[in-house]
Amino acid sequence: MGLKIRKGDTVVVISGKEKGKRGEVREVHPGEDRVVVEGVNERTRHARPTQNNQQGLYTFYAPMHVSNVMLVDPSSGEPTRVGYRLMDSGQKTRVAKRSGEDIDG
């Protein structure tokens, strides 16, 4: 089964040194169960200066395990678990367990 978190979702970190931070999901790696969150888990690398990268330092957001983040409830802004509901049209949508509100559209 795929991940319950998708690109563009707002999540909050629930464990680790970045606990409590919020950000938007930039990338999802379902094969590795990892997500990249904007503003969380920032890393710095040293590289030899090139014509494209003059100073030799670059920063990026490292992937973190999906179990360390929770989706933010669209109505209350609190972390929530995610469930699924079948609509009358037969389409499956994500639902916030905390409030029962639809997350998708």
Tens of pLDDT, residues 4-55: 999 999 999 999 999 999 999 999 999 999 999 999 999 999 988 888 777 8
Comparing 79 with 55, the larger pLDDT belongs to 79
What pTM did the predictor assign? Answer: 0.83
pLDDT above 60: residue 105: no
Helix or strand holding residue 36 (H, E) = strand 34-37
The reported pLDDT for the residue numbered 16 is 92
- Domains in the chain, CATH or no CATH each: 1-72 (2.30.30.30), 74-105 (no CATH)
Which of 19, 74, 9, 73 lies closest to 41, judged by CA?
19
pLDDT of residue 104 exceeding 80: no
pLDDT of residue 65: 96
Parallel, antiparallel, or unpaired: how do β-strands 82-86 and 92-96 relate? antiparallel
